[in-house]
Chain A
Amino acid sequence: GESVGLHLPTLSVQEGDNSIINCAYSNSASDYFIWYKQESGKGPQFIIDIRSNMDKRQGQRVTVLLNKTVKHLSLQIAATQPGDSAVYFCAENMWTSYDKVIFGPGTSLSVIP
């Protein structure tokens, strides 16, 4: 079946460097993608989203890139801070099927002070 997966389960980054977290998806019908951040002991928190009619979307210190050709999604965090340490999930679904969100297993980001 369709699935969303992450290439790297763990990522360690020096404070101040940029972080890149990758995600692969397999459902070509997916047209809406979301990144969530989950801190220890808490629920996931929305970071940024992107629809399939876009290739790039920027937020505050975060950028999401979507490559539909290779079904790849990435989250870039600029000037990574200790507070960015968390597990990051990508999720995909179809705009018309909000109940069919598929989550990846997550990438754990550790920021080294």
Chain B
Amino acid sequence: DGGITQSPKYLFRKEGQNVTLSCEQNLNHDAMYWYRQDPGQGLRLIYYSQIVNDFQKGDIAEGYSVSREKKESFPLTVTSAQKNPTAFYLCASSPVPDNSPLHFGNGTRLTVT
């Protein structure tokens, strides 16, 4: 089955540590996205990538970094500079340039203490 795989589902880290969230897709989509979800708020865009080796900042990129070395993979690193990293992180993909609905993974819940 085609889809998006995020791992791990739950992640716990100590404050001051960097942590990398994995996102892999086998949908052959060019575009990939990272969103952050907090209770009572809509999804907020962190970073997105339209093509391999290229990515752009979203609305809340501070404290995060990404890479896009392969079409299938778009890992997100939450750095120690992110002031409030505890959240639910969602990875998504979509075909480009077609403006079709986003396909989401099942998320990673990150807790930083």
List chain A positions with a Cβ less than 8 A from chain B.
Answer: 4, 9, 32, 34, 36, 41-46, 49, 89, 93, 95-96, 98-99, 101-106
Contact = CB atoms under 8 A, between A and B. Distances in A.
A64 B77 CA distance: 37
Contact of A44 (B6, B40, B56, B90): B90
Given A32-B99, A101-B45, 9 more contacts: A36-B101, A43-B6, A43-B105, A46-B103, A95-B99, A98-B31, A99-B50, A103-B42, A103-B44
Nearest to A39: B106
B87 interface: no
A105 B39 CA distance: 8
B42 A99 contact: no
Interface residues of B, number: 28
Interface string B25-42: 000000101000000111
B102 interface: yes
B11 interface: no
B96 interface: yes
Interface of B: 4, 6, 9, 31, 33, 40-45, 48, 50, 56, 58, 90, 92, 94, 96-97, 99, 101-107
A102 B42 contact: yes
Contact of A99 (B6, B40, B56, B104): B56
Given A43-B90, A43-B105, A49-B101, A98 B96 contact: yes
Nearest to A46: B101
